[in-house]
Amino acid sequence: MSNEFTRTILLVDDEPAILKTSSLMLQGRGFSRVLTALDSRDVMKILAEEPVSVVVLDLYMPQISGQELLPQIIATYPHISVIVMTALDETQSAVECMRAGAFDYLVKPVESDRLEATVSKALEASTLSREMSSLKDYLLTDRLKYPDAFSSIITCDKRMRSIFQYVEVIAPSQLPVLITGETGVGKDMLAKSIHNVCRSKGQFVAVNVAGLDDNMFSDTLFGHKRGAFTGADQARDGLLARAAGGTIFLDEIGDLSDLSQIKLLRLLQEQEYYPVGSDVTRKSTARVVLATNKPLRSLMAAGSFRHDLYYRLCTHQIEIPPLRDRPDDIPLLMEHFTSKACAALGREPLAIDPDFADQLKAYPFPGNIRELEAIVFDAVVRQASGTLSLNGSSMVIQGADNCDFSQYRNDPEPDFEMIRSIFGGFPSISRMEDYLIVEALKEVKGNQGAAAALLGITRQTLNKRLGEFRKEGSPEQAAAN
């Protein structure tokens, strides 16, 4: 899908020197597609043939004046933002043009910063106008242009389909996209779908920024030059460079430090950044998609999230509904995860007891889809018969009387006596992780892929931990190798 229409600018002026200067100014600021028209009679023909988003229009020209062209452009192409250019003594006419529908006006001679800022805002306005019109068309026709881009998201929910339609509408834009929702709803999968819809040539690069201090954040995203800090023996590109022409997905942005938020804001506003240790900016061509499970408005009110960054992210915001609000998706997801678990364990496919799916529909799923996957995988591991039922599911699910999951919603404080008895005292997180890894491997008879799925981690993460165990000796001799 082309992003061309969001960046095409038409300059109209009867003075060749002004056209050349303005064109060079914009191209030097990253606007690669700038068209020019010396004769105002050519404007409507150009607009009919080219996907123009912004017209910078001189007010007084021979043949057809800017004041005459303005209403024609607005009436024929309502999504195009028109900026009028005028001399200092013609500002009253420019104000009248604003009342007639012009986006803004510029007074000659125009400074490059002012020209860039005004054109950038006009591009955003044009993009949003087109998107709103496209969204109406999508909702009326209930169609998807690129259904394959969403094939990894298992759903039959109408709200999710509306989200897919919205994603297709905003895909051509280079504005950032903010995805919100509870833990486990699939924000990363939707981010990948946005990348797929764009049909980008570049990579999809994901990074979880939670826990990164400002130095790590800068080095991870922006890279560094040689000698930037102790141990920087050679220059290294950051993830933004790897995502050039593609998409970079920043997860858990609600945890960013204030300094990192400032750097992120600059990246979003200017599409440029400084590698660590460098005083030379680099341009970014990556689409930025961000996600958080935290209430950013509350963080903003508490002073831990910047207002300017928040409002920059609000242009395109998508909230994924939790699984408990999508009960009809549960049987579909159960079938998908059951097949996946059986394949990982090398088992014959299992049928699913319809009562099991009905019972799970009443469960609140605080961990959403990720939790459902763990429950299904655990049930497959424990199931002895050919049908997946509640009897084979985990102890958490079995513990609810008569499958009444309301008890789970108001779970009392857990009893740690059993945990203390296992570890001989209150365990550290590290010891708990070691214990769970060993138990998971025992549960699936050493199948590392199945153990990783049971633990809710990737196989690579599990292999890394097992490698650490082997170097250090134990736990349980790296789960018996």
The reply to whether 134 falls in a domain is: no
3-state SS, residue 249: strand
Q: What is the mean pLDDT of residues 209-238?
A: 86
Same domain, 170 and 104: no
How far is it, in rounded angstroms, from Cα 218 to Cα 427? 34
CATH number of the structural domain spanning residue 380: 1.10.8.60
Give per-residue pLDDT as tens, 237-259. Answer: 999 999 999 999 999 999 999 99
Same domain, 280 and 383: no
CATH number of the structural domain spanning residue 70: 3.40.50.2300
Give per-residue pLDDT as tens, 14-72. Answer: 999 999 999 998 888 778 789 999 999 999 999 998 989 999 999 888 888 888 899 99
* pLDDT-derived band at 479, boundaries 50, 70, 90: low
Distance in Å from the first CA to the final CA of the chain: 48
* pLDDT-derived band at 402, boundaries 50, 70, 90: very low
Same domain, 348 and 399: yes
Domain boundary among 409, 433, 449: 409
**Could you count the other beta carbons within 10 Å of the beta carbon of residue 404?**
11
Q: What is the mean pLDDT of residues 403-407?
A: 43
Q: Does pLDDT of 409 surpass 50?
A: no
Same domain, 68 and 174: no
Radius of gyration of the chain from Cα atoms? 28
How far is it, in rounded angstroms, from Cα 367 to Cα 158? 21
Same domain, 361 and 303: no
How far is it, in rounded angstroms, from Cα 421 to Cα 112? 71
- 319, containing H or E segment: strand 317-319
Q: What is the mean pLDDT of residues 346-354?
A: 88
Same domain, 314 and 330: no
Which pLDDT belongs to residue 476?
59
Domain count, the chain: 4
Domain boundary among 362, 383, 409: 409
Q: Which residue has the higher pLDDT, 21 or 428?
A: 21
Q: What is the mean pLDDT of residues 271-284?
A: 89
Q: Does pLDDT of 310 surpass 70?
A: yes
- Rounded to 10°, the helix 459-472/448-455 angle is 110
Same domain, 225 and 286: yes
Q: What is the mean pLDDT of residues 308-322?
A: 92
How far is it, in rounded angstroms, from Cα 193 to Cα 216? 27
The reply to whether 136 falls in a domain is: no
Same domain, 331 and 297: no
Domain boundary among 374, 392, 409: 409
Which pLDDT belongs to residue 411?
44
Among 126-140, 411-425, 445-459, top mean pLDDT goes to 445-459
Which pLDDT belongs to residue 140?
61
The reply to whether 137 falls in a domain is: no
Which pLDDT belongs to residue 6?
53
Q: What is the mean pLDDT of residues 279-283?
A: 88
Same domain, 197 and 271: yes
Same domain, 176 and 291: yes
Which pLDDT belongs to residue 279?
86
Tell me which DSSP letter residue 399 carries.
T
The reply to whether 163 falls in a domain is: yes
The reply to whether 215 falls in a domain is: yes
Q: Does pLDDT of 477 surpass 60?
A: no
Residue 39 structural domain = 4-128
Among candidates 75, 30, 78, 28, which has minimal Cα distance to 53? 78
The residues, any chain, with a CB within 8 Å of residue 264's CB and separated by 6 or more, are 250, 253, 256, 309
The reply to whether 135 falls in a domain is: no
Same domain, 179 and 213: yes
How far is it, in rounded angstroms, from Cα 293 to Cα 249? 14
Contact present, 152 and 160 (Cβ < 8 Å): no
Give per-residue pLDDT as tens, 367-398. Answer: 899 989 988 988 888 887 788 877 655 534 54
Which pLDDT belongs to residue 475?
57
Same domain, 312 and 328: no
